[in-house]
Structure 1
Amino acid sequence: MNRTVYFIVCLLCLGVTMSASAATQAYRASLLYFTADPTRDANATHYLEDGLLLIRDGHVVAASDYASVPAAQRRQLTITDYRGKLLLPGFVDTHIHFPQTEMIASYGEQLLEWLNSYTFPTERKFADAGYARQRAGFFIDELLRNGTTTALVFATVHPQSVDALFEAAAAKQMRLIAGKVLMDRNAPDYLRDTAQRGYDESRALIRKWHHHGRLLYAVTPRFAPTSTPQQLALAGKLLQEFPDVYLQTHLSENKNEIAWVKSLFPERKGYLDVYDHYGLAGPRSLFAHAIHLEDGEAQTLAARGAAVAFCPTSNLFLGSGLFRLHPLKQAGVRVGLGTDVGAGTSFSMLQTLNEGYKVQQLQGEKLSAREGLYQATLGGAEALQLADRIGSFQPGREADFVVLEWGATPLQQLRQSQARTLDDRLFALMMQGDDRNVVATYVNGEQAYRRP
């Protein structure tokens, strides 16, 4: 089917007629999206130098070459002109901590010391609902300012922190997944719940927020050392009672952490086996980091259908180690990209990819711009089991997208002027880009951020 016929068929299938075109939003720009992992499918990259993206009722109608759209149809549309800029599906951040926003770039510790020195004292403040609302609004705005339209987010142990975050996301119509932290041991008294209270509060939050608009819930034990066996068992019970909720936690980030887990759970074969034993490893489970996996653990993740989050900025910042991206993908594990703020040092997925490229270089591996941008969009959606809803410009997908400037600074502009291929342009954008390149962010078909 040629592009002109395809475009018209898409309009008709979604009920877009000439008389209804006033309700159809149209955007003219360069369009880039993926329909599969470009490292596995040579036809997965879709780039339209002069493209037209049509949106209706918060969903993609069609992405087509501008010239292939009949002139009569174009005259019926009000077109937002972003020529010279790049439209991508909104970025998907698969691991981030909203209460840690204010402690980003805190000096001098590795994981366990960092938690005690910075994280726990900061999260204590979120017992105050008003404080939590203030920080939640800032957090959501910062995501959008960086072009991130979906995120998997840790709140704190306080239910009011979850309420504040979901309220702020709902006001922007965002697709957001979040949950209350479960933590009933090895933490300060002021941050501990109990196994039963954690279960009861999580259950109430699931009933309140899961599938509320575009919001989804994640059962959220911080990590194995801060939950008793009873709490982990009750987390597994929640997953049985609500089969379509998510599970998010941490796995094998730091070697001292792994040794601690083994001392706390000597009856288990290893760190991942702790989660697996309690029914926490499944298709909607996402484990952050997974740097120091032991023999057989990648295969177990793949067998359970679980995903992991690659968080290069925090892994480097905390000195945790180097993530083995390609071996995990080759083992059949789905991988998303995570900023992991506040150990991660930027909300920008472009900056996160910059660090991700370096992590692969240190291991003698490569991370191309196509693979990187796939991981930040459709790859993240696949990791979250949401590829049928977000992550591409295929018809029917939810209309979350970001408008990027190719060159936001004189140096970026100089570099772009020397690029001769699409891959070179995209790689320069990935390595030099940040929030300054974000011109606008659209959520559910509506502009949610525009650069001043």
Structure 2
Amino acid sequence: MTAKSLVLGQTLEFLSNPFHVPVEEATRVRPKGAVLVEGGLIAAVDEADTLRPLYPDAAVVDYGDALICAGFVDAHVHYPQTGIIASWGKRLIDWLNSYTFPEEMRFHDAAYAAEIARLYFDLTLSHGVTTMVSYCTIHPTSVDAFFAEAQRRGQRVVAGKTCMDRNAPEGLRDTAQSAYDDSKSLIGKWHGVDRISYAITPRFSPTSTPDQLRALGDLWSEHPDCLMQTHLSEQTDEIEWVKGLFPEARDYLDTYEAHGLLGEKGLYGHAIHLEDREKDRLKEVGAGLIHCPTSNTFIGSGLFDMAGLMAQGQRVGLATDTGGGSSFSMLRTMAAAYEVAHLRHNSLHAAHLMWLGTAGSAAALHMEQQIGNLKPGLEADLVVIDLGSTPEIAQRRDRAQDIWEAVFPTIMMGDDRAIQDVWINGKPALSAIAKPA
């Protein structure tokens, strides 16, 4: 008989997208709720008083008044940049040349890649992240290291070999053919194994020739169940660079579209400075736009138009973009999303922010039937959030008039101390690592 666990606390479920319907219709919060976990899945979500007598043999884990929700889903990261997070003072192209590329050169070493993968997963676990979509480096060893560590921990992850055949150092360039061959081999080795998915990964148009983009577009057409991830319209000088490299393109998005790299399962990081045609085509195909607010402010990229894109019906996820982003914390990322929206004269509700970091990102990855919510049949990846983790947060929570007013201070001021526990694949996982002091 499969062991059952009954996890007690305040439970947060999303019934719909709170950007599209009122918050009270989109969410359900049970002050004394319970999540029944069995065989790595969520078997039931209900009132604790309802479930306890139905499952008297279940192991009870009581988190008191802590908030239990789906584990955070970080939709755009660069795990090889763990060691260079918060590097000073550069815009995108200079930042890549000064910090990113020298660090990524080191990932030809399988032992180094494995070391950083372990560190990255420890750090993200301490912040309640249970699924992420990562760029690796051009080296297949970097992909193997990431997936092997995720497999050891039982995590649902997505990643891919970054492909670049121009405008990068010699040690970080592949070719159109080797990018195709390496990616195809890695898909065969890892895609669909346990909780692992592969993403075909051209870094961005400036570092791929048309031949390479076409080869990766062909590969995607051969493996349409894979995701495809890249960058789009992050900075204005980047856009001008793209125009110079692709003079025949209608716009930045067209550099992907013309080569078979626009589709429903495409993830387009940043998407700040979009033209009308680009917005229309992204909406038409149902692609995912990934908002990376700490990165966009840290590197000085611009302000993502959350209100406008949501009103248009775009599919939007949320991401740290570490290491261009300045924090591994999805709470800090939600706070930055709030601040960016405010600068565009729009206030995001706490429910909007929590949805973006869980169900919204899961939907952007087309994984809403697997992760991102407290719903029977979904995988039991949970985060348990202490809503009074520091004295300043606790005193503000104590004045709250409702649950959202209690959650918001943790979004704005919380860090890893707010992460009371994390469940991955139906098992508590946070105790497996030493939390940073």
User: TM-score, with normalisation over the residues of structure 1?
Assistant: 0.94
Say if 2:11 is the partner of 1:31. Answer: yes
Which residues of 2 match residues 42-191 of structure 1 at below 5 A? Answer: 42=22, 43-69=25-51, 71=53, 73-191=54-172
Q: Which secondary structure does the structure 1 equivalent of 2:124 belong to?
A: helix
Alignment length, in residue pairs? Answer: 431
Whichever residue aligns with residue 386 of structure 1, its letter is M
| Deviation string, structure 1 residues 80-116 (Cα, Å, up to 9, x no partner) | 1111211110000000000001000100110011000
| Deviation string, structure 1 residues 314-348 (Cα, Å, up to 9, x no partner) | 00000100000121112221000010000111111
Question: 1:70 and 1:142 mapped to 2: Cα distance?
Answer: 34
For the Cα contact (< 8 Å) 1:29–1:81, is it kept in 2? yes
Assess, with a 3 A threshold, how the Cα gap between structure 1 residues 129 and 69 changes in structure 2: closer, same or farther.
Answer: closer
| Deviation string, structure 1 residues 188-236 (Cα, Å, up to 9, x no partner) | 1010001101110000000000001000000001100000000000010
How far did residue 39 of structure 1 move? Answer: 2.5
Q: Which secondary structure does the structure 2 equivalent of 1:377 belong to?
A: helix
Q: Which secondary structure does the structure 2 equivalent of 1:178 belong to?
A: strand
Tell me which residue corresponds to 1:15.
Answer: none
Q: Which secondary structure does the structure 1 equivalent of 2:63 belong to?
A: strand
RMSD of the TM alignment (CA)? 1.1
Identical aligned pairs, as a percentage?
A: 45
For the Cα contact (< 8 Å) 1:87–1:403, is it kept in 2? yes
Question: 1:157 and 1:70 mapped to 2: Cα distance?
Answer: 51
Question: 2:427 and 2:329 mapped to 1: Cα distance?
Answer: 21
For the Cα contact (< 8 Å) 2:397–2:407, is it kept in 1? no
Tell me which residue corresponds to 1:13.
Answer: none
How far did residue 413 of structure 1 move? Answer: 1.1
Say if 2:219 is the partner of 1:238. Answer: yes
How far did residue 70 of structure 1 move? Answer: 6.0
For the Cα contact (< 8 Å) 1:35–1:378, is it kept in 2? no
Assess, with a 3 A threshold, how the Cα gap between structure 1 residues 103 and 24 changes in structure 2: closer, same or farther.
Answer: same
Which residues of 2 match residues 172-211 of structure 1 at below 5 A? Answer: 172-211=153-192
Question: 1:78 and 1:166 mapped to 2: Cα distance?
Answer: 31
Q: Which secondary structure does the structure 1 equivalent of 2:303 belong to?
A: coil
Consecutive unaligned residues of structure 1, counting only runs of 5 or more, are: 1-19
Whichever residue aligns with residue 364 of structure 2, its letter is A
| Deviation string, structure 1 residues 255-313 (Cα, Å, up to 9, x no partner) | 01000001000011010011111111111100000000112211110111111110000
Structure 1 residue ranges, 4+ long, deviating more than 6 angstroms after superposition: none
Which is further off, 222-231 or 61-70? Answer: 61-70
Whichever residue aligns with residue 111 of structure 1, its letter is L
Question: 1:164 and 1:70 mapped to 2: Cα distance?
Answer: 41
Which is further off, 423-432 or 349-358? Answer: 423-432
User: TM-score, with normalisation over the residues of structure 2?
Assistant: 0.97
How far did residue 74 of structure 1 move? Answer: 4.6
Whichever residue aligns with residue 50 of structure 1, its letter is K
Tell me which residue corresponds to 2:247.
Answer: 266
How far did residue 420 of structure 1 move? Answer: 1.6
Question: 1:207 and 1:132 mapped to 2: Cα distance?
Answer: 21
Say if 2:348 is the partner of 1:367. Answer: yes
Consecutive unaligned residues of structure 2, counting only runs of 5 or more, are: none
For the Cα contact (< 8 Å) 1:36–1:378, is it kept in 2? no
How far did residue 139 of structure 1 move? Answer: 0.7
| Deviation string, structure 1 residues 361-420 (Cα, Å, up to 9, x no partner) | 111011110010001000001000000111111110000001111111111111111112
Whichever residue aligns with residue 60 of structure 1, its letter is I
Question: 2:175 and 2:392 mapped to 1: Cα distance?
Answer: 53
Say if 2:249 is the partner of 1:279. Answer: no
Tell me which residue corresponds to 1:346.
Answer: 327
Say if 2:432 is the partner of 1:448. Answer: no
